[in-house]
Amino acid sequence: MALTLHGTVSDNTVALDRKTATPLIINGDMAIAQRGTSFTSLSSGANQVLDRFAFLVNEGTFTVTQDSDVPTGQGFAKSLKIDCTTADTEITSDGYVQLYQRFEGQDLQMLKKGTSSAEYITVAFWVKSNLTGNFVLEVKDHDNSRVICSLVNISSANTWEKKVVSFAGDTTGALTNDNGLSLQVTMWLAAGSDFTSGTLATSWEAQNNVDRAVGTFNIASSTSNEFYTTGWQMEVGEFDANSIPPFQFEDAGTNLRRCQRYFESVSGAYLSLLLIRSSGYLRAINYPYKVNKRVAPTVTLISATTDGVGSLGPGSATVDNVRFSCDGGETSGPRVHDFTMDAEL
């Protein structure tokens, strides 16, 4: 459901002109951490950290945590902290360090991308680091392999700063109207020459890797480096620091439910499976998710006791439930304690 709020524009009044009543960025206040609050020894691959955020790295080693250092007086209680634990001063040509969130195409049709009426996208967030200088904020259209980027400057060390970045609408390439990956908002925090030897893509262009991270600093340059961020929001339209609508805080329950579309963690669940010995077949039980998943998730059993009835495992999963079963033949069933369901983009 769309909601547009109009306020009076003056030197001291912020205009509210929000095209959607629901925040486009999920968990932008870094409050939900179903996977945990500390992720150590991150040196390769895409690592899911705080809910809806991923840390992609192949240079240096890092710890990512949920932290309580936040901007004063803004209403935030948590931030995401990136701490370099093993430095890499010489970034290889294909090196990178990124923090990003991804979006389904069906949630972004109001951008009108690929039409003559394409809307501006404005991204805002708070950052704090001992490093000063520039990093790159990128919006990437996965459906059409197109990107647009902007340099973001940290002017004062160890000081919370709010950044507001507007990107022009893209009249080329519509976003697919489905539950697949369409758009990605990325902070480039380090990059090698494969991503920095061109000219920064400050206008929409076909993806050319050498243009994607030109001018970014290197967060992996020292083990003294830290980077904090919170208050991520994305708005439809062109805004600056004076006109951008305020961050939309969601209650904890709503925030969690939106995250659970992509990942759900279950602890201490009890499932009783009745297994029929004489007939030779097993009877299973379906576990309904708290929230329907984006796609049929990958279900991982963390721990379980099986009461001597054989091995337990998740079977078929759908968008709304998973079936647990056991290969034993007793009449008492296993107790399933902890499992996760992952349907991330």
Residue ranges covered by each domain of the chain: 38-260, 263-342
The pLDDT of residue 2 is 39
Which residues are within 8 A (CB) of 54 and not within 5 positions of it... i.e. 6 or more apart?
46, 47, 48, 99, 100, 101, 102, 344
Q: How far apart are CA 209 and CA 143, in angstroms?
A: 16
Single pTM value for the model: 0.92
Where does 38-260 sit in CATH, by number?
A: 2.60.120.260
Q: In the chain, what is the greatest distance between 2 CA atoms, to the nearest angstrom?
A: 80
Best CA proximity match to 192, nearest among 180, 210, 166: 210
Series of mean pLDDT values for 10-residue runs along the chain (345 residues):
35 57 96 98 98 98 98 98 97 98 98 98 98 98 98 98 98 98 98 98 98 98 98 97 96 98 89 55 78 97 68 86 73 71 97
Is 196 strand, coil or helix? helix
Is 173 strand, coil or helix? coil
136 contacts 151 by C-beta, under 8 angstroms? yes
269 contacts 165 by C-beta, under 8 angstroms? no
The number of beta carbons lying within 10 Å of the beta carbon of residue 303 is 9
Could you tell me whether strands 38-42 and 45-48 are parallel, antiparallel, or unpaired per DSSP bridges?
unpaired
226 token code pair: 């830290």
